[in-house]
């Protein structure tokens, strides 16, 4: 698998792609990262001490630096783009002036760092790369050219021009990011023996290969020093996030964070599971809380609020179920500390008070990290977290769909039953599609996720409130019950049938995407030994939900139609209040609705959260429901 510089033809194609597809920032950036790293790594083959030693190599360096400058100019506008453009122009000029290798390396290093900082991290592995599998892949795909140990001395190397890369060369290791290596494994190198493996290897396998070859130059001594630094130096875990590990080259980390972080980066390249098991979500929460503290101190309340929300939604919320399985009291305490941070920002407290609340949240995160430390969750904790993620998220949707299906089956409404099935099946498809987009094309932030869940929750609550009272108001209507017994499909009408379909769809869809995200987070917390227990938890939750569904159907089918209407209306009204509370809470977490907190406990099963807005909304809904219920009974009695 020859791994060396790109040819001018390849980058001509890449540049055309960059120019014609400006919205695809992730693709643009990865191509430019790959380009700038090749300039930094291969310039020494073109110029030595100010003299051209290879005209062909120098021509490529000149072409690459020009394409880099043009590629940067075609990126979307962003704060910091002007700095990036200036750096790219400086590199082009330095190449034309045959500058020293040291100067070229410094410029390419700055460009890579600015590129990643301005345009974000486009891709990262979803789970800890499997280096054992990567070793087997390397021997099958790469060893013939790069050698058994990655020294560029494979059987086919002697006849290859340019020569395969020596992955054990420290100077080349220092200048290559894992993102650049992953991009090369994915896209290949035109004009060489380096094939593109996007079609033949999965994304996980390509990341594993990038980590494997990216750690060939890490000596055992450096890895031991790095392990010690990562586990003992304060702030090291928060500073070396997954984004840092993937997007920054070792020389970037050495310059920015020092030799201990450099060694820790080498350790993490060789042992990526350490970063995942120590929890990147906790590290992200620490980072975002720090951003919130700094933003509030400089008077930028909006940025502080956004960072505080992200600290919870994109970080801590992803590990709540895992932490609850280990220490439920600690989970609730940590959650309350995040609430206190958001409340302090919302109420515009003094900067010192906000800093104090952030410090308390960071302390809770450290305790959570300690509780989750070790080689992933225990078998019991994995089983418990997996079970409650699916059972909790699925129960509400199941009760709604089961109530509707029991009603239509009891009334022998075949057409309506099919529409309800259509609704929940479409929700599963939509949820899977949303998950695919979130993993490949679109980044869904925690705020956008909560916005979706909040809007869906409020809409579902309103519809269930209406359907519940519709059933209650008709529970004693002999005319309606007659329609039900005779021709319910016609009695319902097309409009009502599609309302039932929409209720079925939205009740399932609002749960499924968040469930998938929680399982993604849980997957990063389990070891090879405990992975089966995750699936045992899923199986147990499915079995428990199936039991609930069967009981609901059997009991519902045995009830007299009028009694079934009344019981089902009560169930739907209770669910509407629960969904209303959860919807309001989700919109508050997304920052759409302000939150003022109360000293009341969180009762997640009932959708009760300690905010004035949420509690008042539920109280009003209950009061309105009671009023309409009593009024309906009075009218029936009259």
Q: Quote the CA–CA distance of 142 and 408 in Å, as a whole number.
A: 61
Give the domain-ending residue among 550, 576, 602.
Answer: 576
In this structure, what is the dihedral angle of CA atoms 480, 484, 486, 492, given to the nearest 10 degrees? 90
Q: Which of 310-314, 367-371, 460-464 has the lowest mean pLDDT?
A: 460-464
Q: Quote the CA–CA distance of 42 and 355 in Å, as a whole number.
A: 47
For residue 366, being part of any structural domain is answered with: yes
Are 243 and 124 within one domain?
A: no
**Mind listing the pLDDT tens digit for each residue in 595-618?**
676 766 677 667 777 778 878 888
Give the domain-ending residue among 351, 371, 391.
Answer: 371
Give the domain-ending residue among 226, 243, 277.
Answer: 277
Q: What's the CATH code of the domain at 286?
A: 1.20.120
Closest alpha carbon to 510 in 609, 384, 613, 395: 395
**Mind listing the pLDDT tens digit for each residue in 257-267?**
889 989 999 99
Are 130 and 17 within one domain?
A: yes
Are 331 and 395 within one domain?
A: no
Q: Is the pLDDT of residue 10 over 60?
A: no
| Winning range, highest mean pLDDT, from 64-78, 183-197, 440-454 | 64-78
Residue-level pLDDT at 296: 93
Is pLDDT larger for residue 29 or for residue 47? 47
Residue-level pLDDT at 540: 93
pLDDT-based confidence at residue 562 (cuts at 50, 70, 90): low
Q: Which whole number is the average pLDDT over 277-292?
A: 78
Structural domain containing residue 562? 380-576
Q: Which whole number is the average pLDDT over 468-475?
A: 62
Are 392 and 529 within one domain?
A: yes
Residue-level pLDDT at 515: 79
For residue 241, being part of any structural domain is answered with: yes
Are 413 and 545 within one domain?
A: yes
Are 13 and 107 within one domain?
A: yes
Residue-level pLDDT at 633: 65
Residue-level pLDDT at 120: 63
For residue 598, being part of any structural domain is answered with: no
Q: Which two tokens stand for residue 63?
A: 């072409």
Residue-level pLDDT at 450: 60
Residue-level pLDDT at 159: 76
Q: Is the pLDDT of residue 6 over 50?
A: no
For residue 422, being part of any structural domain is answered with: yes
Residue-level pLDDT at 18: 34
Q: Which of 78-92, 154-168, 284-298, 303-317 has the lowest mean pLDDT?
A: 154-168
Residues 41, 5 contacting (CB under 8 angstroms): yes
Are 532 and 469 within one domain?
A: yes
Residue-level pLDDT at 24: 40
Residue-level pLDDT at 11: 35
Is pLDDT larger for residue 21 or for residue 444? 444
Is pLDDT larger for residue 394 or for residue 278? 394
For residue 622, being part of any structural domain is answered with: no
Q: Is the pTM of this model over 0.75?
A: no
Is pLDDT larger for residue 88 or for residue 232? 88
Are 145 and 202 within one domain?
A: yes
**Mind listing the pLDDT tens digit for each residue in 341-362?**
988 898 889 999 999 999 999 8
Are 298 and 248 within one domain?
A: no
For residue 522, being part of any structural domain is answered with: yes
Q: How far is CA 611 from CA 145, 200, 366, 588, 598, in A?
A: 63, 51, 26, 9, 5
Residue-level pLDDT at 192: 64
Q: Quote the CA–CA distance of 557 and 580 in Å, as a whole number.
A: 28
Q: What percent of the chain has pLDDT over 90?
A: 5
Q: Is the pLDDT of residue 485 over 80?
A: no
Are 294 and 408 within one domain?
A: no
Count up the domains in the chain and report the number.
Answer: 4
For residue 397, being part of any structural domain is answered with: yes
Are 300 and 234 within one domain?
A: no
Q: Quote the CA–CA distance of 436 and 389 in Å, as a whole number.
A: 20
Are 389 and 537 within one domain?
A: yes
For residue 582, being part of any structural domain is answered with: no
Residue-level pLDDT at 353: 92
Burial 281-306 (b: 16+ CB within 10 A, else e): bbbbbbbbbbbbbebbeeeeeeebbb
Q: Is the pLDDT of residue 481 over 80?
A: no
């Amino acid at each position: 698998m020859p791994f060396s510089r790109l040819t001018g033809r390849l980058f001509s194609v890449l540049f055309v792609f960059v120019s014609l597809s400006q919205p695809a920032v992730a693709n643009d950036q990865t191509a430019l990262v790959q380009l700038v790293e090749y300039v930094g790594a291969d310039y020494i083959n073109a110029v030595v001490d100010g003299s051209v030693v290879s005209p062909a190599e120098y021509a490529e360096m000149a072409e690459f630096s020009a394409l880099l400058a043009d590629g940067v100019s075609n990126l979307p506008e962003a704060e910091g783009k002007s700095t990036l453009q200036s750096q790219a122009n400086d590199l082009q000029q330095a190449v034309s002036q045959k500058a020293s290798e040291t100067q070229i390396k410094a410029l390419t290093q700055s460009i890579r760092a600015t590129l990643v900082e301005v345009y974000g991290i486009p891709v990262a592995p979803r789970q800890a790369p499997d280096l054992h599998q990567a070793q087997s892949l390397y021997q099958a795909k790469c060893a013939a050219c790069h050698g058994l140990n990655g020294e560029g001395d494979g059987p086919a190397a002697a006849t290859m021009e340019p020569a395969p890369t020596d992955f054990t060369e420290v100077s080349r290791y220092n200048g290559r990011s894992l993102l650049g290596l992953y991009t090369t494994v994915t896209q290949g190198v035109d004009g060489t023996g380096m094939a593109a493996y996007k079609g033949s290897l999965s994304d996980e396998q390509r990341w594993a290969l990038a980590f494997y070859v990216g750690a060939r130059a890490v000596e055992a001594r450096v890895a031991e020093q790095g392990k010690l630094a990562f586990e003992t130096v304060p702030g090291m875990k928060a500073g070396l996030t997954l984004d840092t590990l993937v997007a920054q080259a070792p020389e970037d980390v050495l310059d920015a964070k020092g030799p201990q972080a450099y060694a820790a980066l080498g350790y993490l390249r060789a042992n990526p599971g350490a970063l995942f098991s120590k929890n990147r979500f906790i590290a992200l929460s620490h980072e975002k809380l720090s951003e919130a503290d700094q933003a509030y101190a400089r008077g930028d309340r909006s940025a502080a609020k956004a960072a505080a929300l992200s600290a919870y939604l994109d970080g801590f919320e992803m590990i709540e179920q895992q932490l609850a399985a280990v220490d439920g009291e600690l989970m609730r305490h940590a959650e309350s500390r995040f609430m206190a941070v958001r409340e302090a920002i919302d109420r515009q407290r003094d900067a010192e008070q906000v800093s104090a609340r952030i410090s308390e949240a960071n302390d809770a995160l450290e305790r959570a990290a300690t509780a989750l430390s070790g080689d992933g969750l225990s078998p019991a904790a994995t089983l418990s977290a997996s079970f409650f993620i699916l059972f909790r998220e699925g129960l509400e949707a199941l009760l709604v769909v089961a109530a509707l299906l029991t009603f239509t089956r009891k009334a022998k409404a075949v057409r309506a039953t099919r529409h309800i099935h259509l609704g929940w099946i479409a929700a599963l498809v939509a949820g899977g599609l949303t998950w695919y987009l979130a993993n490949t094309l679109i980044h869904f932030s925690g705020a956008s996720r909560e916005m979706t869940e909040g809007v869906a929750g409020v809409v579902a609550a309103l519809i269930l409130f209406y359907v519940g009272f519709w059933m209650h108001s008709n529970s004693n209507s002999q005319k309606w019950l007659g329609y039900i017994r005779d021709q319910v499909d016609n009695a319902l009408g097309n409009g009502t049938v599609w309302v039932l379909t929409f209720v079925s769809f939205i009740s399932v869809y609002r749960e499924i995407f968040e469930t998938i995200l929680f399982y993604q987070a849980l997957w990063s917390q389990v070891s090879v030994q405990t992975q089966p227990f995750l699936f045992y938890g899923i199986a147990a939750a499915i079995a428990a939900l199936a039991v609930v569904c069967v009981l609901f159907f059997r009991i519902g089918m045995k009830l007299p139609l009028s009694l079934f209407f009344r019981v089902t209306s009560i169930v739907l009204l209770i669910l509407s209040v629960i969904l209303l509370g959860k919807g309001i809470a989700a919109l508050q977490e997304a920052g759409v609705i302000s939150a003022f907190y109360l000293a009341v406990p969180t009762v997640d099963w009932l959708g009760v959260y300690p905010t004035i807005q949420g509690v008042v909304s539920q109280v009003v809904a209950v009061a309105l429901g009671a009023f309409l219920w009593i009024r309906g009974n009075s009218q029936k009695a009259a």
